[in-house]
Structure 1
Amino acid sequence: MELHGEDVLLRPVVDADAPVLAAIVREPEVAAWWAPPADFVGMLAVVYVGEVVGAVQYEEEEDPEFRHAGIDVFLTSRLHGRGIGTDAVRTVARWLVTERGHHRLTIDPAAANAAAIRSYAKIGFKPVGVMRAYSRDHRTGEWHDGLLMDLLREELV
């Protein structure tokens, strides 16, 4: 499977991507929001200009009464602020809506991650509410609030 965005290509992570992705999640600007996962299995590599620069993960709720999907993304800090993450999230969101049939998507950035929140809003995600003490900072052990955002199929930009 390959998903083509405006500037990015999303494809399944392969073993050779693991060292690159592990280095990215250790970058201080990325580590502030992402704990290093045990592995990258099931994620989609974000490829920009032929280089793996991050990853997207998604989860799907299959219960027909609650069917929806959730998205998360990380990107090397040297490309932050250039629209690459927005393109990656938009690309997987379109696929989840058009190919996987989801009518609603969620994303849950840290409430303090203003750049991520702005990026997701560009795609059409809207704030639903603050989830208090939602995630634990893997570096300090402190709890931080998260912002639940969602997007309905017809709102996707």
Structure 2
Amino acid sequence: MDTLHGTYVTLRPATAADLPTFRTALATVEVARWWHWPDPEGDLAEPEHRHLAITVKGETVGMIQWYEEEDPDFRYASIDIFVHPDHHRLGLGTDAIRTLASWLFDVRGHHRLTIDPAAENSAAITCYERLGFRRVGVLRKQWYDHSREEWADGMLLDLLKGELSEGS
């Protein structure tokens, strides 16, 4: 995969060198509340891994990943992201999603993208809606919340080609 350049961020394939930064972000209260990544080393070692380091001026500030369903009758892609809290509210996550979404639409040929944050993660949902994602519905007991040790709801949002907002 090529390196992708947004307005503020650069997205490049993540490597083992990014793991200390990822672990630092994942250890923060703000990220750990929503993210559990049990085997980053193993995931990054997979030849077809789709984890991208989010960098700003050469500094890794987070990670964005994508998955695609390749069956032509059900083709779509999904995105997931975290940014270290020191870099929250700067537009970096928004720029990373916009950059990857544009690539998934224009280069990979997808017509629809999904993202599924925790239903309680209102900051993430607000960010995604500003980009043009629309709520599809609640995914009941979709993910295991390790901080509460119980199953929790997710919010499914989707975005069709042509709906991506170019604004902030």
| Normalised-by-shorter TM-score class | over 0.9
AA aligned opposite 1:12: P
Gaps of 5+ in 1: none
2:5 is equivalent to residue 4 of structure 1: yes
Instruction: Tell me what 2:92 maps to.
Output: 84
Q: For 1:154, what is the secondary structure of its paired residue? A: coil
Displacement over 2 Å in runs of 4+: none
Give the match for residue 56 of structure 1: 64
User: Match of 2:142, SS?
Assistant: strand
State the match for 1:101 in structure 2: 109
Relative to the length of structure 2, the TM-score reads 0.90
Determine helix, strand or coil for the equivalent of 1:133.
strand
**Partner in structure 2 of residue 110 of structure 1:** 118
More displaced stretch, 7-16 vs 131-140: 131-140
Among residues 117, 124, 129, which one is paired with 2:132 in the alignment?
Answer: 124
TM-score of the superposed pair, with normalisation by structure 1: 0.96
The CA deviation at 1:37 is 3.6
Cα deviations by residue, 1:56-97 (Å, 9 ceiling, x for unpaired): 000000000000000000000111122111111111000000
Contact 1:58 1:72 (C-alpha < 8 Å) held by counterparts: yes
Matched position secondary structure for 2:18: helix
Which of the numbers 106, 127, 137 marks the counterpart of 2:145?
137
Equivalence for 2:17: 16
Aligned partners of 1:100 and 1:123: how far apart in 2? 19
* Superposed CA RMSD: 1.0
Is 2:151 the partner of 1:156? Answer: no
Give the superposition deviation at 1:13: 0.6
2:3 aligned partner, one-letter code: E
Aligned mates of 2:123, 2:7 — CA distance in 1: 20
Residue 154 of structure 1 and its aligned partner are, at CA, apart by 1.5
Deviation at 1:103, TM superposition (A): 0.1
CA shift, 1:139, in A, is 2.8
Partner-residue secondary structure (3-state), 1:155: coil
**Paired positions, count:** 157
